[in-house]
Amino acid sequence: MNVTLPQGNVGSSSASNLLKNPIVGVLLLLAGLALLIWNEGRADYSQIAATSTEIDSETPPTDNSLEGKLVSVSGLLTTVDLISDGQYLKPGQYVALERTVEMYAWIEHKNENKYDYDKAWLRGPADARTFANPQGHENPVMAVREFTTKANNGKVGAFSVDMASVTIPGLSPLQLTADKVIPYPGVQIAGDDYLFVGRGTSYAPQVGDLRIKYSVLESNIPVTVFGALRGKSVATFTDEQNNSLHQIVRGNRAQALSALKSQQETMTWVARAIGLLVMWGGLMPIFRKVSPNMAMGKLRLVTFVIALVLAVVGVFAGISIA
């Protein structure tokens, strides 16, 4: 289904014109450079974690000199708490729980001056009032919202963990079975991935139907927690540079340190790529203003090469400052 309009989308046109402004280009150029410099100087938490003192998970140390110092404790992550979403999922011994919700809804696609409408599973469906042709493309308000929670109590071996402040590993999809779900009319388990809620079926959904997925951090998995030793607990550690570390990582100490190092390297390269792209985007409107007759292909190549050179300069500047 499509609708042809005589005029383009005003909001999109304004945004496009803004990005062609050379002043905006200068701001983007500076922002990209600042990101690159900041990225090279940010704290490497894998190196901070590597300085931690490893202690036995079942035997709190008698050496008081470790009190308040950075330690690592490896063992099974457990909780006595039972948590759920309070709606469809039965309580279970999960350390953390996340519910994501998608609605089968109308989505608008713009193709030049035409607007096409299709249906898809969306986590954030648009309000039909924002569509060029809202009539017949109404999306109802989502009746179920996304939800996250963590257990109040957690332990690694004999050591309690401050769950309110600790950073936890990524969650894993929860395989749904009948014994984990509260039965409701109209609620179906679709495969083992999600719940289907609505008037249609998982194979033939109707607009407004929902599918709900759960991800959890299971109890009784091997982890390593890094943080400050506080008696028989591990809490947030803050070093002299005001860098804070309180993190649970899957695996033993060696595996956890390797994972933190890999995470640090990935974040570094992602930030470098973003910085380069932002600078490239900033150079485009500047060169359009300076050389309005330059062919687009040549303009893109020239600005990319300059952005790449500036990015390398920004990286080395950040390294030298750090």
Residue 188 lies in a domain: yes
Domain-embedded: residue 6: no
Query: Is the Cβ–Cβ distance between 278 and 32 less than 8 Å?
Result: yes
Question: Is the overall model pTM greater than 0.75, yes or no?
Answer: yes
Within a 10 A sphere around the Cβ of 166, how many other Cβ atoms? 20
Domain contains 133? no
Q: Say whether both 98 and 172 belong to one domain.
A: yes
269 plus 309 within the same structural domain: yes
243 and 266 housed in the same domain: no
Angle between helices 296-321 and 22-41 (to 10 degrees): 30
Cβ-based neighbours of 6, under 8 Å, separated by 6 or more: 113
CB atoms within 10 A of CB 52: 23
pLDDT, residue 160, reads 94
Quick one: which of 109, 105, 104 has its CA closest to 2?
Answer: 109
Q: Kindly state whether residue 127 falls inside one of the protein's structural domains.
A: no
Instruction: Give the model's pLDDT for residue 322.
Output: 66
Q: Is residue 115 part of a domain?
A: no
């039909």: which residue's tokens? 128
CA nearest to 177, candidates 190, 164, 166, 163: 190
Residue 257 and residue 244 share a domain = no
Which pLDDT score is estimated for 320?
Answer: 85
How many domains does the chain fold into?
Answer: 2
Does residue 10 sit within a domain?
A: no
Q: Do 207 and 83 fall within a single domain? A: yes
Domain check: are 204 and 290 in the same one?
Answer: no
Structural domain for 98, as ranges = 51-104+140-251
pLDDT at 17 (0 to 100): 58
Same domain, 243 and 262: no
Q: Which of 57, 44, 5, 41 lies closest to 232, judged by CA?
A: 57
| Residue 116 included in any domain | no
**Which of 211, 227, 251 delimits the end of a domain?**
251
Could you say which of 216, 232, 251 is where a domain stops?
A: 251
56/156 same-domain check: yes
Indicate the residue among 188, 217, 251 that finishes a domain.
251
Per-residue pLDDT of the chain (322 residues; tens, 9 = 90+): 444 444 444 444 444 555 578 888 999 999 999 999 999 999 999 999 999 999 999 887 877 889 999 999 999 999 999 999 999 999 999 999 999 999 999 999 988 778 999 999 999 899 989 998 999 999 999 989 999 999 999 999 999 999 989 999 999 999 999 999 998 888 999 987 899 999 888 889 999 999 999 999 999 999 999 999 999 999 999 999 999 999 999 999 999 999 999 999 999 999 999 999 999 999 999 998 888 888 888 999 999 999 999 999 999 998 888 6
